[in-house]
Amino acid sequence: MPTVPNPNWPLIEESWGPYWGAGGGILSLDRWAEITRRVVGTTATQRGRQYELDQVRAGEYRLTLDNTDGAFDPVNTSSPWYGKVVPFQPMRKRAQYPATINLLSPVQATGGDAGGAAPGTINSGLTQIYTDTDAGGGSIVASATAYQGGRVLQFAVPSGTTATNRIVLTAEPAAEPGTTYTVQIQVRNITPGTTLQVQAHIGSYMTVRSSATYTYGAAATLTGSATAAWTTLTATATMPAAVLGLNVGVSVSATAAAACTVQADAWQLEKAAAASAWVQPGTWYPIYAGFAERWPQSWTDPKRALVQPTCADTFSLLSQVQLRDPLNQEIFSRNPRFLYALADSQGSSVFADSAGTNPAAPVAVSKYGPGAVTPGTQITSANPGGAYTGSTGTVTTFTNANPGAGLTSAASYISLGGAGITGPADPSTWTRMIAFRYTAASPAAGPVMWSGLDNRRVNDNPAGSAMLWQLDSAGRFGIIMAGPTGTGTTFSPNSANYADGNWHLAIASYSRAAAQLIIHIDGTNYFWTGFNTVYEPSKLISDNLGAYVDPTAGNGTTWTWQGDLAFVTEWPTALNASDMTTIYTAWKNSFSGDSTDARYRRILGWAGYQGYYSFQSGMTTAMGPATGGGDALTALQNVVTTEGGTHYIDRAGLITFKARSDRYNKITSTYVFGDGPGEYPYEPGINFDFDPTRLANIVTATKSSTNQTFTATDAASIAQYFPRTMSRSLNTASALEVQDAANYLLSRYRQPALRISSITLNPGANPALWPVCLSLELGMRVTVNRRTAAGTLISQPCFVENIQVAIGADTATWTLQLSPVDTTPYGVLSAWHAPLTSGTAVGASGVIIARQPFQNNGDPAAATIPAGGQMVVGLGTANQETVTILRVGTTTAGWTAVQLFLTAPLTKTHAAGDIVSEVLPAGVTDPAAWDAVAKLDSKALAY
């Protein structure tokens, strides 16, 4: 029989994820290996920051594991996990409370009655309930004949579904090596006239990112009926020593002869050799999720070995990722074949491939003599705004004779062919890009910046495949493409003049499969659909920058280039229009105009993060340009500083971004800790301190894109506390927002605030604290109370800034570091609104409304409700209608209700209590917080 759980202690699960590895920072919710029995002593976690203005640190997890058998010795070939004990393997800690023998989640076990899942299509990401047979993912439906409760899980099984297809499964519980598990589940077929053979299963994952090996219970035949009885399915299996995860549920055991619908309920997984009576499980609470960076071993005696994994959350991974500039990030995120940025130093005679996949490209000389190729040129333009900001550094200048003239001319050029590049790697699908600046006089013919030819000649002239990127005599950009027979044409996107001394970016994407060429020039995409493959260049033997180069005539040159080139790139696939627009935006302005949440998400993408996240919409809606260099975590923190919000890794490992409005709008506390009735107790030793640590009365905020500084000062604070400075750098496009940020910080920190360094909660001694402690999260608002011997109450509302958890065999504590909430009160302007005192009928010529407590009644109602104004009667109801006020009834001071007379009778009925409101702006539905200027979480507020 399974061990009876302690009702005063949660079921603790410690597990690691050798099935997954750390790829992309993904912390999966399923397929884990349990190591709880290996834990020695107390485990400890720490997440958050000390003060509200500090940077959040990477969350840490400290534990000691018994390693006497060498299972976590990376070089032990006898370890069941040999080859998987490597840096950055996922680790998690969670707890079920109340503890039960049922290891599933409440929503899984109850068919959706518990656990907070809504009826309808199953959200597998939230419930970890999956199906192989139901293309729609299955559903949670109400049932008057559920095995327990009032809901069941329901799945379609199509005709012809073969054996071993999973009707329902979950892989969420961790698998403990060597432990025997039993799964039980109630099932039935509700489709009359059909039968289906099914069986319970338990699967063991043994290979990284591979399918499971299954053990099946006895098969049962489900006879379809709208009133079918429930059938109990069970399966029992013992986990192998090298198990990486498990999978439990119901499988088809013989090919389905007809389509049917299967329902499931009362699902249970337990550590036992036989099924016990079904019980509803407690809630599973995450405590920590991160990665084991190292596996240091030690020995307490010759026989007993210990391993103490050094664990940190995703922030630690991100702090080790060094970012390139925005343009290079976007280029490399799409896996280029080559990138010759042409940013090489002065004096270079070869040009390096930044992608590192090709040799350096040399400078070559025309048979008619040399021109000049000069690297190390500064980025300039003929007009302000004519350059780009997505990458810094230098570019390469070409100075060749007779630029743009159709004459044989001396020239120097860069030979990509000298690096082994002769046309696109795959002529049927490619994308190429170049940044250019033409600096000579208006071209007489067509200066060529990039050329490639094959070896076919007719009448001693090139007559085969060709690809030429050029300007024409009017400065128009175009790409000449010709196929092997010499049939070609010019693809020119527009008639703009690009020979203007300014920088331009051109990208071309070709796909034979889609029969499409897209040319992107300076932010606009131009499409050629139904592309004729006779224009497709192939078997090119040359690829050159800076001139039209004829490789079959001794590298003779004409139509030479004069000006600057940079970022010569090829991707071996056809990028879509959106990709090209993104690359252009990165090149031109470094994503200026991003909102803070968009910038945060962008940086995560650059860092290669592929895991889960939770973002609020940022209140800074237009940031300045993104910058390169530095690590990803610092870049993320800079975004958070600009937003004035917060970010952290939550208990389940999700990267969480909170806007500044998050704290402004938390006006009530989730929990109250104290020594009074209904309050949750904390341990003795609390200290209240009127702390000047964050005192500031001269605040400077710098707009980082311009280095302009804005200041806010408070003379009274300076006189009382001496000058105390604070500075912030904000990457926002709005100067007003920077000034408002300085004003806000001054108002927040010009006077000391009552602070509580920390409080400690002890659920080990007070089990009523378990659900509270297990639910605590960073940024949560709580109130801490303390009653003095004199009977006075000290009450401090706070935000949770840091959480430290220590859990041992019979001890458990949560230590919270707190910061005070803002001392400045905030308000929200509402629309004028009030409820009807009684119902109204169609044709009524007026309505009576009740005054609200926040409305003025010292003046006549007519003083605030204008005749001729419009009102909405029945706001938010199906009978909502807009009316015009004819006049307002007479009232005196202290009035409680007033009659509004209308210019036209009502066309609909309305119930007592329906809201009458002034007309709201488009998209606004809440009259209590309609004003977009005053609302605290609106983008109109700068702080």
Residue 37 confidence (pLDDT) above 50? yes
What are the tokens at 637?
Answer: 């923190």
Q: Which residues of 826-847 are buried (b: 16+ CB within 10 A; e: fewer)?
A: eebebbbbbebbeebeeebebb
- Nearest alpha carbon to residue 812 among 2, 4, 6: 6
> What pLDDT does residue 26 have?
87
Q: What are phi and psi of 898, to 5 degrees?
A: -150, 150
Give the pLDDT mean for 682-689: 90
Whole-angstrom distance, CA of residue 453 vs CA of residue 537: 8
Give the pLDDT mean for 774-797: 94
Residue 929 confidence (pLDDT) above 80? no
Give the pLDDT mean for 164-181: 97
> What pLDDT does residue 79 have?
95
Give the pLDDT mean for 14-25: 87
What are the tokens at 101?
Answer: 């023998």
The tens digit of pLDDT for each residue in 387-406 reads: 999 999 999 999 999 999 98
> What pLDDT does residue 824 have?
66
Ramachandran sector of residue 224 (left: φ over 0; alpha: ψ -120 to 50; beta: rest)? beta
> What pLDDT does residue 1 have?
53
User: Which residue reads 């009133």 in tokens?
Assistant: 227
Residue 287 confidence (pLDDT) above 60? yes
Residue 868 in contact with residue 811, Cβ under 8 Å? no
Whole-angstrom distance, CA of residue 139 vs CA of residue 840: 42
> What pLDDT does residue 942 have?
30
DSSP 703: E
Ramachandran sector of residue 356 (left: φ over 0; alpha: ψ -120 to 50; beta: rest)? left
The tens digit of pLDDT for each residue in 408-439 reads: 999 999 999 999 999 999 999 999 999 999 99
First to last CA, the chain: 60
> What pLDDT does residue 943 have?
31
Question: By percentage, how much of the chain surpasses pLDDT 70?
Answer: 97
The tens digit of pLDDT for each residue in 210-263 reads: 999 999 999 999 999 999 999 999 999 999 999 999 999 999 999 999 999 999
Residue 892 confidence (pLDDT) above 50? yes
Can you say how many angstroms the Cα of residue 90 is from the centroid of all Cα atoms in its chain?
A: 19
> What pLDDT does residue 937 have?
34
Q: Where are the alpha helices (DSSP H) in 689-753?
A: 715-721, 735-749
Whole-angstrom distance, CA of residue 398 vs CA of residue 374: 6
Report the chain's mean pLDDT, rounded to a whole number: 93
Q: Which tops the pLDDT comparison, 754 or 625? A: 625
User: Measured on CA atoms in the order 259, 265, 271, 275, is the torsion positive or negative?
Assistant: negative
> What pLDDT does residue 924 have?
78
- Nearest alpha carbon to residue 27 among 62, 72, 55, 61: 61
> What pLDDT does residue 87 have?
92
> What pLDDT does residue 938 have?
35
Beta strand 613-615 with 655-658 is parallel
> What pLDDT does residue 822 have?
86
Greatest C-alpha distance within the chain? 110
Task: Count how many residues are written for the chain.
Answer: 943
Strand residue runs (E) in 10-150: 11-16, 33-34, 43-48, 57-62, 65-66, 89-97, 120-121, 139-142
> What pLDDT does residue 940 have?
34
Tell me the sheet residues that pair with 517: 510, 528
The tens digit of pLDDT for each residue in 434-482 reads: 999 999 988 888 999 999 999 998 888 888 999 999 999 999 999 999 9
How much is the pTM? 0.87
> What pLDDT does residue 865 have?
84
Give the pLDDT mean for 313-337: 96
Question: By percentage, how much of the chain surpasses pLDDT 90?
Answer: 85
Residue 503 in contact with residue 429, Cβ under 8 Å? no
Give the pLDDT mean for 842-856: 87
> What pLDDT does residue 827 have?
57
Q: Which residues of 22-51 are buried (b: 16+ CB within 10 A; e: fewer)?
A: beebbbbbbbbbbbeebbbeebbbbbbbee
Give the pLDDT mean for 882-900: 90
DSSP, collapsed to helix, strand or coil, labels residue 700 as strand
**CA atoms within 13 Å, Cβ hemisphere of 490:** 13
> What pLDDT does residue 935 have?
36
